[in-house]
Chains A and B, each alone.
Chain A
Amino acid sequence: MVLPSSEAATRSAMHDDGLISSPGAWAKEVRQSAAERAQNQGLPERRDEYWKYTRPDFFVQESVTLEAQVSPKIQIFNNQLKAEILFENAVLAAETLPKVANCSIESLDDAADLDLHWVSDIYGKLELAGQYPVRRSLAALNTAKASQGVLVHATGQVSDPIRIHAVCAGRTDAIIHHVVKVDAGASVTLIETGQYGARCNVVMEVEVADTGHFHHIRVQDDHEIHALTHIFARIGADSTFKSFTMTSGGKMTRNECILELIGDNSAVSVAGACLGDNDFHHDDTVFITHDAVNCESRQVFKKVLRNGAVGVFQGKILVKAGAQKTDGYQISQSLLLDEDSQFLAKPELEIYADDVACSHGSTCGAIDEQALFYLRSRGIPEAKAVDLLTLSFMAQAIEEIEDSKISAAILNHLTDTLEAR
């Protein structure tokens, strides 16, 4: 798939007058080559196969069209976690950077001006590796332009989750770039809540060393948002990577996750639960590359949609030659609560090794009338019964979260969100 190069569009989206930040140090070269990459590839267009079900318009146009509303209706994890980092209107509140044992947390803005920094081995590198076979120019653009972000380096077991919370108002155009490095034997959990801007372009690069463990939880519930996120991760041997996203807001959200398994015996999971209502378009795009022996990958996505909401799933498992004993699992399911909602899916497999098991399932349908009837016959009002069935439908995705405290919090949040609507 080749993105048609449209230089003018790229240039306007890059707003060249803004120039690339960070004058010197390691960041300069990386940013410049990323800018060139974005320019050469051109920005995504409607007719691109890779953007078949989601229009890229809002992400490439010059202006931000939505006004973000501060403070969502329902709060999650508030005042529950010891380590919290705050972003206000797409800017890191540096004074909130917490001190955490076995972990260094820094601001990208500060690190970019240094001559040497560990992040130079990762920043833009994983994004670059993720540009093939599909070009992700908006991620390259992010590498070139982002000045705000958090750099997390876990050197041992980090006992408490670290939360990044973002609040915004007005027409903030956020370009955020986080980098996470998990050393051998180390483990860390990162929770992202809130939204950085009315329009977001967020990239997170994650390097998990052999025997490292990384968990990522994300809650997207602000509605007046156009969000595009990318996670690029490289996973070593005997390690874990798990990412879960709960989405109940956002006019248009596209979450891309590009994982590469390069060490043997590792396990990854990418999951999502999505509750869509009205003018809601949600796209999960996952690309998992198996380039090592005996690894397991799971993709579990559940969407419940109503009032014309649209759910998209594009998932792919690529098993390279030699990646024997791969166990790939992919399931995307959608529950359409009314006539107007849509589910569009492309669950792909590309396999070049013979001793592997990859399954991909995708289903779509209405709520089970019999189950509904059963609940109603037990005296549960219809709306409540639908909510209960929604919760049970979502359960498989939420079960992908390892930490039971977090999964309980997500489940509560989901219940509250259902009750509030």
Chain B
Amino acid sequence: MAMDDVQVKDGVDAETVDAVIALSGAYKYGWNTEIEMEYAPKGLSEDIVRLISSKNEEPKWMLEWRLAAYRRWLELKEPDWAMVEYPKIDFQDQYYYARPKSMEEKPKSLDDVDPKLLETYKKLGIPLKEQALLAGVEAPEGERRVAVDAVFDSVSLGTTFQAELLQAGVIFCSISEAIREHPDLVKRYLGTVVPVSDNYYATLNSAVFSDGSFVYIPPGVRCPMELSTYFRINAENTGQFERTLIIADKEAYVSYLEGCTAPQRDVAQLHAAVVELVLLDDAEIKYSTVQNWYPGDENGKGGIYNFVTKRADCRGDRSKVMWTQVETGSAVTWKYPSCVLRGDDSQGEFYSIAIANNMQQADTGTKMVHLGKNTKSRIVSKGISAGKAQNTYRGLVSMHPKAKNSRNYTQCDSLLIGDKCGAHTVPYIEVKNNSSRVEHEATTSKVDDDQLFYCRSRGMGEEDAVALVVNGFCKEVLQALPMEFAMEAQALVAISLEGSVG
């Protein structure tokens, strides 16, 4: 969307408009890596499920698990309740498995990986080469190290810093490797947060997921570095189905980052991922995503259909999970990172900025299911629409009868840039006990009185004070982003929710 053809209403910050356009404008990662690929035959059948399983050298129980999911999927109906429209997906016209030919022989280390593939990640700004640490010398300040699992189409290329992480007891590897090397852990937790039959796309994923990341943090361990997965869809007509499983044992802590891009293609591509987080007593997981899949062109041609199921299960008491997401890509987004607050005193947080431009459609939000006593959740969601985009916040806050003394605070705001786009809010609030408090508000209607009073007492005019407080709130989402997303965060800082519609 060019700047000059937009009529923006008074009160919307010009800087905000520029930032939105810069963020959601020309797609920077649309190039494609010329590489020889190996595909499984097109279409979906039990044979394909078997093939994926055998390519990953999986044990029999895993194959059975997949087949059960596939059979279940055949009985399910595609959901149609989201406020998104797209042509019917032909599930038989997709490749479910694509891997670079050079990956046929599993490389022993990242040094053996095809340089072309490494080049791809370098171009995306993801260093896969570990910077060797000199003995006794700390990493220079500001250069925090991040362990990366790089997933290219259907396979994981490799995971960095594995040895060093293992010293701390942390297991970080691709899920296919985990199924082979740590079957007990996988068996115990896989599918326990997002059951096989959870929803149409999760069930599809359960049947055909090809790779993804696996993390296990043992009791009492604070993961020594940030972990990260970078997803790249490269092949044409190929769906990416990755599966992420993160287990934080008692008193463990991990911060996990996720990035994703895809080349510019005319035909829409499917991405159906499942992310499961398990938190035991006193564990904490920070999960941050910058989702930048190819959004399609200005006329809505091509782009990624992003149908993702993400859920955290706070099983342990006092556990804490925090989802932070910046959604700028994808033609269609259908994504609700959720928290099941089962343990007493557990906490869930969800911070989201969703920016949709041109013909993009985003239907995203969260679910906070309070089951345990004294559980707390907080939702801060900012949706920004420009061009002809549609942006929907859809969320559930549910207080079960036993979730005594629980607390939820929800704030979701929308900003429209131009008069051809749409912003929608569909919150569900279910309160089944009276000791809990639930508040759902929009910033424009409610500004913290104390903060306002403070600003006023320092001599600010009422309007300026409100603007300051409101802007400060938007930045709260950014503060939740880890350092590694500093670039994105910087671009987002310019966005203010002044003039939001509610």
A: residues with CB less than 8 A from B are: 1, 49, 319, 321-322, 324, 328-329, 334, 336-339, 341-366
Residue of A nearest to B8 (CB): A354
Distance in angstroms between the alpha carbons of A338 and B432 in the assembled complex: 10
> For the complex, what is the distance from the CA of A398 to the CA of B129, rounded to whole Å?
68
Give me 26 A-to-B residue pairs in the complex whose CB atoms sit less than 8 angstroms apart, sorted by A's number.
A49-B81, A336-B433, A339-B401, A339-B434, A341-B434, A343-B430, A345-B430, A346-B426, A346-B427, A347-B440, A349-B414, A351-B422, A351-B423, A351-B502, A352-B421, A354-B12, A354-B418, A358-B502, A359-B442, A363-B440, A364-B429, A364-B431, A364-B436, A365-B434, A365-B437, A366-B434
Contacts of A347 in B (CB 8 A): 425, 427, 429, 440
Chain B interface (Cβ < 8 Å from any Cβ of A)? 8-10, 12, 81, 401, 414, 416-442, 444-446, 501-502
Most buried by A among B401, B418, B438: B438
Task: Check if B431 sits within 8 Å of A343, measured CB to CB.
Answer: yes
Query: Which residue of B416, B430, B432, B433 is within 8 Å of A353 (Cβ)?
Result: B416
Expressed in whole angstroms, the Cα–Cα distance for A336 and B81 within the complex equals: 31
**A39 vs chain B, min Cβ distance (A):** 23
Min distance, Cβ B419 to any Cβ of chain A, angstroms: 5
Chain B positions within 8 Å of A322 at CB level: 419
Neighbouring B residues of A342 by C-beta, 8 Å: 430-432
Q: Is the CB of B431 within 8 A of A354?
A: no
CB distance from B416 to the nearest CB of A (A): 4
Distance (whole angstroms) from the CB of A331 to the closest CB of chain B: 9
Instruction: Determine if A345 and B429 form an interchain contact, defined as CB atoms under 8 angstroms apart.
Output: yes
Partner of A351 from B416, B431, B437, B445 at Cβ < 8 Å:
B416
| In the complex, chain A residues whose CB is within 8 Å of the CB of B422 | 350-352
Report Cα–Cα, A279/B10, bound state, in Å.
Answer: 50
Flag if A362 contacts B434 (CB, 8 Å).
Answer: no
In the bound complex, CA of A334 to CA of B432 (Å): 12
**Are the C-beta atoms of A336 and B440 separated by less than 8 Å?**
no
Q: Total A-B residue pairs with C-beta atoms closer than 8 Å?
A: 124
Known: A359-B445, A359-B502, A361-B442. A344 touches B429 (CB 8 A): yes
Q: When the two chains form their complex, are residues B419 and A353 in contact, meaning their CB atoms are under 8 A apart?
A: yes
Question: Do A348 and B81 contact each other (CB < 8 Å), given the known contacts A338-B434, A357-B501, A366-B434?
Answer: no
Give the distance to chain A from B410, nearest Cβ to Cβ, in Å: 9
B432 partner residues in chain A, CB cutoff 8 A: 342
The answer on a CB contact under 8 Å between A361 and B441 is yes
Name the distance in Å between B389's Cβ and chain A's nearest Cβ.
11
Closest to A318 in B: B424
Q: In the complex the two chains form, is B419's CB within 8 Å of A354's CB?
A: yes
Contact status A357-B502, CB under 8 Å: yes
- Supply 7 further A-B pairs (C-beta < 8 A) apart from A358-B501, A366-B437: A342-B430, A342-B431, A347-B429, A349-B414, A349-B502, A361-B446, A366-B434
Residues of B within 8 A of A328 (CB): 502
Select A344's contact among B423, B431, B502, beta carbons within 8 Å: B431
Query: Within the complex, which residue of B12, B401, B424, B429 is in contact with A349, where a contact is CB–CB below 8 Å?
Result: B424
Interchain CA distance A239-B501 in the complex, whole Å: 24
- Tell whether, in the assembled complex, residue A354 and residue B417 are in contact, meaning their CB atoms are under 8 Å apart: yes
Tell me the smallest distance from the CB of A65 to a CB of chain B, in Å.
Answer: 26
Chain A contact residues: over half helix, strand or loop, or mixed?
Answer: strand
Determine the residue in chain A with the shortest Cβ distance to B396. A346
The minimal Cβ–Cβ distance linking B186 to chain A, given in whole angstroms, is 35
Least distance between A71 CB and chain B CB atoms (Å): 33
**Which residue on B lies nearest to A335, using beta carbons?**
B434
In the assembly, what is the distance between CA of A336 and CA of B432, in Å?
A: 9
Chain B contacts of A349 at CB under 8 A? 414, 423-425, 502
In the complex, what's the smallest C-beta–C-beta distance from A348 to chain B, in angstroms?
Answer: 5
Q: Contact between B429 and A362 (Cβ–Cβ < 8 Å)?
A: yes
Residues in B with CB closer than 8 Å to A341 are 434
Please name the 3 residue pairs, one residue from A and one from B, whose CB atoms are nearest each other, closest first. Answer: A336-B434, A358-B502, A359-B445
Q: Complex Cα distance A7/B436, Å?
A: 43
Query: Please, how many angstroms separate the alpha-carbon atoms of A366 and B436 in the complex?
Result: 7
Give, as a whole number of angstroms, the nearest-CB distance from B400 to chain A: 11
Distance of B215 from chain A, by nearest CB (Å): 36
List chain A residues, Cβ under 8 A from B428.
Answer: 344-346
Q: Are A354 and B421 in contact (CB under 8 A)?
A: yes
Query: Min CB distance, B315 to chain A, in Å?
Result: 25
Contacts of A334 in B (CB 8 A): 431
Q: Is the CB of B436 within 8 A of A365?
A: yes
CA gap between A327 and B446 in the complex, in Å: 15
CB proximity of A186 to chain B, nearest CB, Å: 33
> Bound complex: CA of A344 vs CA of B430, how far in Å?
4
Contacts of A343 in B (CB 8 A): 429-431
B501 touches A356 (CB 8 A): yes
Complex Cα distance A336/B445, Å? 24
Determine if A357 and B425 form an interchain contact, defined as CB atoms under 8 angstroms apart: no
Asked whether A348 lies within 8 Å of B8 as measured between CB atoms, the reply is no
Residue of A with least CB distance to B7: A354
Tell me the complex Cα distance, A1–B425, Å. 16
Closest to A349 in B: B425
Would you give the shortest CB distance from B81 to chain A, in whole angstroms?
7
Complex-state Cα separation, A360 to B439, whole angstroms: 11
Of B9, B423, B431, B435, which contacts A355 at CB under 8 A?
B9
| C-alpha spacing A364/B435, complex, angstroms | 10
**Interfacial chain A residues near B439, Cβ < 8 Å:** 361-363
Q: Which residues of A contact B441 (CB under 8 A)?
A: 359, 361
Give chain A nearest CB distance to B473 CB in angstroms: 15
Docked Cα-Cα span, A360 to B435, in Å, equals 23
Partner of A362, one of B12, B424, B427: B427
Task: Give bound CA distance, A341 to B420, whole Å.
Answer: 43
Residues of A within 8 A of B421 (CB): 352, 354
Please determine whether A359 and B444 come into contact, CB atoms closer than 8 angstroms.
yes
- Beta-carbon contact of A346 and B434 below 8 Å: no
